[in-house]
Structure 1
Amino acid sequence: MAFTLSIPRKRISASPGQIVTALIIALFLAVFLLIPTGTVIYTAFTEKGTGALTAINFIDFFNTELFRRSFFNSVYVAGMSVVWATVIALPLAVLTTRFDFRGSMIIQTLGFIPLIMPPFVGAVAMQLLFGRNGTVNLLLNDWFGFRIPFMEGLNGVIFVQSLHYFPFILINLSASLRNIDRSMEEAAQNLGSSGFRLFRRIVFPLAMPGYLAGASLVFVKVFDDLATPLLLNVKDMLAPQAYLRVTSVGLTDPMGYVIAVILIVVSIFAMWLSAVAMRGKDYSTVQRGGGGLTKRKLTKRESLVAYATVGFILLLVLSPHIGLLLLSFATVWSYSPLPDGYTVAHYTRVFGESSLYIKNTLIYVSLAGLIDVIVGSAIAYLVLRTKLIGRRWLDWAATSALAIPGVVLGIGYLRTFYNIPLPDGTPLATLWVMLVLALAIRRLPYALRACYAALQQVSISLEEAAENLGATKQRTIRRIVLPLMTGGLLAGFVTSFATAAVELSATLMLIQSNSDAPIAYGLYVFMQSPAGRGPGAALGVIAVILVGLCTFLSHYVIERRQKTLGAAK
């Protein structure tokens, strides 16, 4: 008796238009993400002069004392920033989730505010408040006769970065604490565990996935940051060294590319390590939705201590915003706890002389956001609505931009496109449109996830019904799918817009002319001199307001979308 095994042949289940769209997106990602990044990696392994593949550049890197020190300084700063960010975030997360704490929503909201200010913007304000001759140290010296080196060298970078990035831990840890199964805590209490022992042995280990997710983000963000160390005049770290090697020695120097590769490898390793730490452990709950921790009421004494702790932490994390606002109105602020006088001249100067920065920023980030929404929605549609072979690779390639630091992408663009001249001889890499493309690539993962989530909420039966009534695929997408995705598309655009508006790493690498510079570049230039810090602070306040409005609009759109969907159900 003979048996025949029928093996179905794979078919490309997609229309010609969808295939063409996928090819265009693949070409876009290849040219503006994969090739520049691959060029950086290839150059790092190429011997200068001969072009032969070699590992000697990495050997030279670790044999050079400056580079070794820069590597260990970067790891140290990133690690200590995680530690201090945890010290700040943990009390806020625990108090607002484990206890019946009045004002917990306000605290969570205020705790998110630091993220809307880039760390390099608040670095100068932090120096005025916590520097050797800043407000706090002047008062400590007058009252007690000593100073604390808050902002000295690496301490300053750690201090600024911890205050800026701790919300990543706060948000993720709070979410994990809320989802812990109540029955597990009750079982531990029945066995005699309580207080700090209960938290240390049961509660915090169960919240570990959220904590590690936030901690790994903090580590990667701090490790890759370029602007904050430069503004604080700390140059013996990896990102500043990559920037300085390329801008001072030149594009032919292999060390800049070696450092760029190390930045990529360490970033990926940190994310991988956080995943490995979770492997083989079970954090699942037995109740639907987790059940949540039992909230305990605070006694009067506990309430007093809790509110004092929260007040101190919030005052600390909001100090960069307070300092920046004071500096933007200050006439003179030097060797005194507060400014000598106040003026609006800095804002007048900014709107008069620096309006070009604002206009350029609006143009660049609007174009970048538009590109992200178009590419993100196209990738989401190809992944969720077609059976096109290789569609998942588009998603993975676009998401991989998260692991590429801005300074690395900037170096890659310079290396790849600088030797491609326009008809007038201008290098392609120096055009402002290249910055727009770099910003779009850097923020594409955020817009992609928003578009992906929006399309998941659109039932495919609506498209099938439209097509059954005679509508073409293009008309169905235009008249049915896109209108239903409007909330997600707008949220993706606003998220991309807000985060790209203060991107500095790629900006510093690609901007060649002051006339093409955006706000982030203007802030960096202003903050380089004492005379420019007042106008720079004013420009920083404008940037914070711009990003804050975009963040608020994004949350508003998402909440309104959720309410609309809820009402429809």
Structure 2
Amino acid sequence: MNDTRKRFDVWTNISLLIFIFYILFLGLPLFTMLFKSFYNGTTGEFSLAYFTKFFSKPYYLTALFNSIKVTVCVTALAALIATPLAYLMATIKIKFNSTIRIMILISSMSAPFIGAYSWILLLGRNGVITKFVKNVFGFTMPDIYGFTGILVVLTLQMVPLIFMYVSGALKNVDQSLMEAAESMGYKGFSKMRKVLLPLITPTLLAGGLLVFMRALADFGTPMLIGEGFKTVPVLIFNEFISEVGGDDGFAAAISVIVVLFATTIFLLQKYVSNKKSFTMSALHPIEPKKKSGIGNIAAHSVIYLYTLIALLPQLYVIYTSFLKTNGRIFVEGFSLKSYQDAFNNIGGVITNTFILAIVSLIVIILLAILIAYVTVRRKNALTNTLDIFTMFPYIVPGSILGIALLITFNDKPLALSGTALIMIISFVIRRLPYTIRSSAAILHQINGGIEEAAISLGASQMRTFFKITLPMMLAGVVSGAILSWVTIITELSTSIILYTGKTKTVTVAIYTEVIRGNYGVAAALSTILTVITVISLLVFLKLSGQKEVSL
């Protein structure tokens, strides 16, 4: 009897409830989408017609190839830029180091499509830089549209993610290894390539996977500047949403192909990481040293130049938000009209965004704390399965999850389509992994003996958790929560599928205003979103006492 009671304690019940939540709102939608992809909407029979259609037509295969090309190139380029950048900042004393790190982080915290929109204003056919070069030098620059533009926008957006991962890994490398390498004649980048790179490879693979999945899932950037360069997220969106010839069964089939491809990449990354994984403990971490001469000037120039280029799109959008507009075009002079129009016409979207994001974040924090605890402290078959389920949102692109939720919950008994609840569910499922990851990481560092001592002194399991474990977990919870918050308020790919007039968010409003050509209002809303993001980050750094957000 005692064994049964021990097995089915309060934590087992909590694990079961969370598992049911995932089955209902992640497992069931993905299974429904899988079923729909093999289901002939006309005859009602099992059919491979959708898959045959996809693999037999060059148009669809080209979109798949384009997506793979974009994701591979973005991941490789982001790693090639971020790794030397992190190495320079870890080994050389850079003036305003903490400020630069925060600026690099801020440059990644807007939705990618806002970067695309910014670069249209700068390097589009009538962009500021394009016109300046043509007028001054008589040279017509290549425009930002197509593959090149997508690559530039997404790479600049993703570099900070790998930068944060690599920066965290470099803190665990012992200085003595660097000194030993120098004594063997390795200097500068040869030292980084021969010694540091093998040490940080597992971390680089983890960061690369996150970048790969985000680039694969991105919808807004190729939609805005892809023009003829079609990618799979755009293809899925067009098939699902199109009023003429749209087919949700075919959209489901394409989604299944993408999920299978993403799962393969995820498992491959896991396999390689496990083969190369090891633990590092730095008694004497690498410390930045003061450099002099040309090396110091070069290091500062590279870092400052990258930071300026990364922030340029956001700075220019902020600038244009204060320009006068005549209809859809910017004219000389400054005005607050774009902000007035933003608040007068679609001010409700700001309220919607805050309400949806705050409710989602409360649910995320609650679930993340519980999931992290049961997966770290209560390991069994159920919690191990739950741990796998929580990783799925890394693999499933946002637009695909949105379609899966819409297909599943469009009818009774759970008709959630068009409601705020379905938006909150999508935000929670997609952004929960950030907070789970950071909460679990800090829980691994907390000695379980402290909890056992409290229980042996007569405290109940729940009292021990709330009074002892939870306070020690809070730093990790807050760190993950800020990333969850920022990614919720900049979310587009799921929201664009699920929103209605009553649940429209700021990112959806920005996207629709850009499509309509209302660049002034779009700039004003983008600036508001950037300010909210920066304030959120600064509040987190102040509350946590940290100088940077680490992954």
Q: Given the two structures, how large is their TM-score scaled by the length of structure 2? A: 0.89
Deviation at 1:439, TM superposition (A): 0.7
Structure 2 residue 18 is matched with structure 1 residue 34: no
Deviation at 1:195, TM superposition (A): 4.6
Aligned with 2:97 (options 90, 95, 104): 104
Question: Relative to structure 2, which stretch is displaced further, 60-69 or 251-260?
Answer: 251-260
Given that residues 328 and 541 in structure 1 are in contact (C-alpha distance below 8 angstroms), is that contact kept between their aligned partners in structure 2? yes
The gaps in structure 1 that reach 5 residues or longer are 1-8, 563-569
Match of 2:398 in 1: 406
Secondary structure at the counterpart of residue 160 of structure 2: helix
Match of 2:194 in 1: 201
Question: Relative to structure 2, which stretch is displaced further, 236-245 or 198-207?
Answer: 198-207
Superposed CA offset, 1:136-180 (max 9, x none): 222222232223325121211111111111111212223334444
Superposed CA offset, 1:162-206 (max 9, x none): 111111121222333444444444444444444544443333343
Structure 2 residue 518 is matched with structure 1 residue 526: no
Given that residues 66 and 231 in structure 2 are in contact (C-alpha distance below 8 angstroms), is that contact kept between their aligned partners in structure 1? yes
Deviation at 1:11, TM superposition (A): 5.5
Match of 2:220 in 1: 227
Question: Relative to structure 2, which stretch is displaced further, 83-92 or 133-142?
Answer: 83-92
Secondary structure at the counterpart of residue 341 of structure 1: strand
Match of 2:373 in 1: 381
Match of 2:425 in 1: 437
Paired AA for residue 105 in structure 1: S
The gaps in structure 2 that reach 5 residues or longer are none
Aligned with 1:418 (options 399, 410, 414): 410
Superposed CA offset, 1:257-293 (max 9, x none): 12212322232333333344445447666xx417445
Structure 2 residue 67 is matched with structure 1 residue 67: no
Q: Aligned pair in 2 of structure 1 residues 272, 557: CA closer, same or farther (>3 Å)? A: farther
Q: What is the CA–CA distance in structure 1 between the aligned matches of 2:296 and 2:193, rounded to whole Å?
A: 22
Q: What is the CA–CA distance in structure 1 between the aligned matches of 2:147 and 2:158, rounded to whole Å?
A: 16
Structure 2 residue 535 is matched with structure 1 residue 549: yes
Match of 1:4 in 2: none
Aligned with 2:116 (options 105, 110, 123): 123
Q: What is the CA–CA distance in structure 2 between the aligned matches of 1:111 and 1:335, rounded to whole Å?
A: 32
Larger Rg: 1
Structure 2 residue 302 is matched with structure 1 residue 309: yes
Deviation at 1:514, TM superposition (A): 1.6
Superposed CA offset, 1:83-128 (max 9, x none): 4323532442232123343333333222211121111122212111
Deviation at 1:507, TM superposition (A): 0.7
Given that residues 126 and 323 in structure 1 are in contact (C-alpha distance below 8 angstroms), is that contact kept between their aligned partners in structure 2? no
Paired AA for residue 343 in structure 1: S
Number of residue pairs the alignment of both structures matches: 545
Question: Relative to structure 2, which stretch is displaced further, 369-378 or 77-86?
Answer: 77-86
Paired AA for residue 22 in structure 1: S
Secondary structure at the counterpart of residue 145 of structure 2: coil
Structure 2 residue 260 is matched with structure 1 residue 265: yes
Deviation at 1:534, TM superposition (A): 0.9
Superposed CA offset, 1:277-315 (max 9, x none): 445447666xx4174457565332222333222222111
Superposed CA offset, 1:510-568 (max 9, x none): 11x322211121111111122x2211111111111222222333333433799xxxxxx
Deviation at 1:61, TM superposition (A): 0.8
Q: What is the CA–CA distance in structure 1 between the aligned matches of 2:179 and 2:452, rounded to whole Å?
A: 49
Q: Given the two structures, how large is their TM-score scaled by the length of structure 1? A: 0.86
Aligned with 2:435 (options 417, 434, 447): 447
Q: Aligned pair in 2 of structure 1 residues 10, 264: CA closer, same or farther (>3 Å)? A: farther
Match of 1:565 in 2: none
Structure 2 residue 486 is matched with structure 1 residue 498: yes
Q: Aligned pair in 2 of structure 1 residues 250, 482: CA closer, same or farther (>3 Å)? A: farther
Given that residues 94 and 300 in structure 2 are in contact (C-alpha distance below 8 angstroms), is that contact kept between their aligned partners in structure 1? no
Q: What is the CA–CA distance in structure 2 between the aligned matches of 1:107 and 1:333, rounded to whole Å?
A: 37
Structure 2 residue 239 is matched with structure 1 residue 245: yes
Question: Relative to structure 2, which stretch is displaced further, 220-229 or 251-260?
Answer: 251-260
Given that residues 216 and 271 in structure 1 are in contact (C-alpha distance below 8 angstroms), is that contact kept between their aligned partners in structure 2? yes
Q: What is the CA–CA distance in structure 2 between the aligned matches of 1:544 and 1:111, rounded to whole Å?
A: 14
Deviation at 1:504, TM superposition (A): 1.0
Given that residues 251 and 415 in structure 1 are in contact (C-alpha distance below 8 angstroms), is that contact kept between their aligned partners in structure 2? no
Given that residues 443 and 496 in structure 1 are in contact (C-alpha distance below 8 angstroms), is that contact kept between their aligned partners in structure 2? yes
Q: What is the CA–CA distance in structure 1 between the aligned matches of 2:186 and 2:383, rounded to whole Å?
A: 51
Q: What is the CA–CA distance in structure 2 between the aligned matches of 1:463 and 1:252, rounded to whole Å?
A: 54
Secondary structure at the counterpart of residue 331 of structure 1: strand
Q: What is the CA–CA distance in structure 2 between the aligned matches of 1:492 and 1:278, rounded to whole Å?
A: 23
Structure 2 residue 200 is matched with structure 1 residue 213: no
Match of 2:545 in 1: 559
Q: What is the CA–CA distance in structure 2 between the aligned matches of 1:366 and 1:254, rounded to whole Å?
A: 34
